[in-house]
Structure 1
Amino acid sequence: MRQNFRKILTMLTVSAAALGLTACGSTAAETDELSYDEAYLESVADFLIGNWDGMSDEQIAQYAEMDAEDAQSILDNYGLPFTAEAFTTAFSGYMGNEEELGAYVSTDGYEVSTDGKEITLVAHLTYEQRTADLSIVFNKKSVAQSVTLDPSYTLGEIFTKALMNTILGMGTVFSVLIFISLVIYCFNFIPAIQKKFSKKKEQPAPAPAKAAAPAPAAAPVEEETVDEGELVAAITAAICAYTGSSADGFVVRSIRRADSAKWKRA
């Protein structure tokens, strides 16, 4: 990795030397709020392009995955005109597009623009499989704040990617909906399963005792009925016989049972 750093430093030194020669023959572009040297900005872009083309995939991955502290240490030690985030983003952006770009072919030109606060350099690049635009945003001190590599796609490729993204998105949504529907449907079986595993076996309830049969009602005692006229005649005759008198001297008005059946002789 130290050799890679030396290579970066060597390329930057060459770019700085070219910048010095350029500065001797021309003046820097000036605006109301900042000034910049276009040749220097272009050399920063060439620095990235040359390293991308000359490094292996493993080396590019090392810079792309470097943490901010290590990246800032490299920038400070070698005087590279990048922020830590811009430096690592430059390599990670190229690593993500390397397969679609292919090998580097040529740089087809540069465009520089400024809004008075920042300077934007766009390098038009040609690779084996497609073209791309490298955009670098510099601050007033010509330090790169962000780096973006945008491959160019045909209209058919754009539509194909959009279609694939749509299918993937809709497929994901429907898959989740189907899964949720299955989960909700399974809720119907949960009570039965819970009842099966948690409910104790029910004991049969004892049969209720049979009610005792009611005792048969006692049969009413039938009282012998006697003809009242005959009873009066019999009693009258008995009294007459007992007293020796005739039946003309008394009248039987009522008949009732006496408490005692004992008679006293007069």
Structure 2
Amino acid sequence: MNAIAAVAPRRRWRSWLWKLPLLFVAVTVLQVLLLRFVDPPFTAFMAARQLEAWGTGDFGFRIAYDWRDLDEISRSVPLAVIASEDQNFANHNGFDFKAIEKARAHNERAEERARRRNKPVQRLRGASTITQQTAKNLFLWRGRGVTRYARKGLEVWYTVLIETLWPKRRIIEVYVNTVELGNGVYGAQAAARTYYRKDAKGLAPAEAARMAAVLPNPRRYSIARPGPYVQRRSNAIQRQMRYMGGPAFLQNID
């Protein structure tokens, strides 16, 4: 009788075990579907940054975040981040495999040059799309070591969900509102008020390009005090914005 009683809990556990993947799918689909219509009050990255500040004893630290619908943001902002981060945004399905291959080849050459000079690699090229970055910002963590690989797997899953359930316009709207543009400064409106003392609606192309130029390292590079690298990158982004056709390019995602 005791043996039979011991088997019953194990059977119940096994019956739940196969349901866990289904529960995960249901919860994540609901998450992404909800945020198609509801503007996120915060993101995983914002929460992590706030906890990081508290963990160091900085209890006065506050996240700067102020949502604005895409129509309330200068069209130069989405154009600048697309020119900077993901020029195939309008055409890919969440992953830009050509960009991934180019980045891999570039990084191999950079690492080889660094080895020959016996110096560390200065700057590696990434190939994350805006959709991937949105997935990471909203739901995930930075991660190192083993946790980094777990995060990458979840990033792929959330990227697929976002591309399936959201239109491109919603993806870029969420991205420009939640991307970090300075230490604790998230989104175009908060950055516009912090660095330019104006609303995001009034940002000029050069100002939007400078904001995009600090990505993906907004704590290393400064919008307020742009060094030579940010200035060069900002100029290059402005050229790309013109080459892409200016704000008319955004009709591809409207």
TM-score for both structures, normalised by structure 2: 0.24
TM-score for both structures, normalised by structure 1: 0.23
Q: For CA contacts below 8 A with separation 6 or more, give which structure has more relative contact order.
A: 2
Greater fraction of residues in strand: 1
Q: Give 1 or 2 for the bigger CA radius of gyration.
A: 1
